[in-house]
Amino acid sequence: MAVMANRAASQCLFQSLCENLKPSLSQLSLPRRAFSHVPSRSMARERRRGHYEDSYAQHHSRQRKAANVARQAELKEQRAAALGDPIRGVITPFVVSLDSNLPPQATASIEEVSHTTTSSSPAEPPPSPAHATDEAHLNYFLTKPELTNSLDYSRSLSEPIVAVNRERADPTKEAEEAKTHAAGHRVATEAISRIVSLANASSKERTRANVQRIIDTFGRHNTDGHLRPKAPSLQSSYSTIAEQKATPRAGPDTGSSEVQIGILTAKIRILADRYEGANRNDKVNKRNLRLLLHRRQKLLKYMHKKERGSERWTNMIEKLGLTEATWKGQIAVQ
């Protein structure tokens, strides 16, 4: 009995101690959050969800996006037009003369020339090839004075011999022989003109003639007399006189930047004409075109750095029709 009474008393004492140590509800409750104008994340999420579900707001959003996309496309076209074509550049008379192998002042087009090889009578020569009389450059490295002198010399060698004794001479027969000789000389002249004409030459021979023209046009052995280089920099003024003396040139200039750029431009136009035609799937031609474009771009960047603003740079850009797209940015062959 005594043991049970002691147990009950200890339990009552333990309960009273626990009630005294238990804190009040007011002490355990957290302080309330003050009022704020900043919405919670859940409220902001709900508002965005409601905005997206609003058809009026969605329509205005699509309109703004379409206007921005149209403006970006317009600006892109304007920048591309300002840069120009990275492959062909701008059409100039000199570039057209490279394609047709005619002087820049020629006005007739190739389509207007007849390629008929028959003549109206045996005494008359056949029609001349395309612009044979207006060509400034001939095949086989010939010039017009050389061709004219050779034809005159051959005519003098083939003329009929006039009888010394005029009493036995037949004037009628001599007149017929002279007429026959003149007709034969016209036919021979036309045949030689067709042989040496670049209109009947192969693509390789035309490219060789164009390379020679470019060397004569942009070579510094010809342009140093009337085109001034870029003004010397401040650093070069402190150099010695021996360093300023240029090495005398031996032969025509074939290695300057403007000459190499002109030769690459002529080759690029040939490859571009072939690639843009029926040979769009020619991967080898496309790769060769890309290599030539990037090689010309490097040379243009170098010359733009060294000769920018000089008469050499201006003359090359104006004659070849090169724009900023040929040396700025990335060149892609589609």
pLDDT, one tens digit per residue, over 12-48 is 666 665 566 555 444 445 455 555 555 566 666 666 6
For the ranges 100-104, 136-140, 330-334, which has the lowest average pLDDT? 100-104
Distance CA 234, CA 212 (A): 36
Residue 313 has what pLDDT?
92
For the ranges 34-48, 234-248, 274-288, which has the lowest average pLDDT? 234-248
Contact 261, 302 (CB under 8 A): no
Whether residue 218 is predicted with pLDDT greater than 50 in this model: the reply is: yes
Residue 48 has what pLDDT?
64
Q: State mean pLDDT over 303-310.
A: 89
3-state helix, strand, coil in the chain (%, to 5): 60, 0, 40
Helix 93-100 / helix 257-275 crossing angle, nearest 10 deg = 60
Mean pLDDT across the chain: 77
- Which of residues 183 and 137 earns the better pLDDT score? 183
Residue 320 has what pLDDT?
93
Residue-wise pLDDT for 53-78, tens only, equals: 677 878 888 899 999 999 999 998 88
For the ranges 51-55, 255-259, 295-299, which has the lowest average pLDDT? 51-55
State the residue for tokens 């009630």: 19
Whether residue 262 is predicted with pLDDT greater than 90 in this model: the reply is: yes
Whether residue 217 is predicted with pLDDT greater than 70 in this model: the reply is: yes
What percent of the chain stands above pLDDT 90? 26
Q: What is the rounded end-to-end Cα distance, in angstroms, of the chain?
A: 108
Residue 25 has what pLDDT?
43
Residue 275 has what pLDDT?
84
Residues 6+ apart with CB under 8 A from 309: 230
Closest CA to 182 of 144, 125, 118, 119: 125
For the ranges 101-105, 225-229, 262-266, 317-321, which has the lowest average pLDDT? 101-105
Query: pLDDT confidence of 292, banded at 50, 70, 90?
Result: very high
- Which of residues 266 and 164 earns the better pLDDT score? 266
Residue 233 has what pLDDT?
65
Residue 136 has what pLDDT?
67
Q: State mean pLDDT over 129-155.
A: 77
Residue 22 has what pLDDT?
53
Query: pLDDT confidence of 242, banded at 50, 70, 90?
Result: very low
Contact 183, 126 (CB under 8 A): no
Whether residue 110 is predicted with pLDDT greater than 50 in this model: the reply is: no
Residue-wise pLDDT for 43-53, tens only, equals: 666 666 655 56
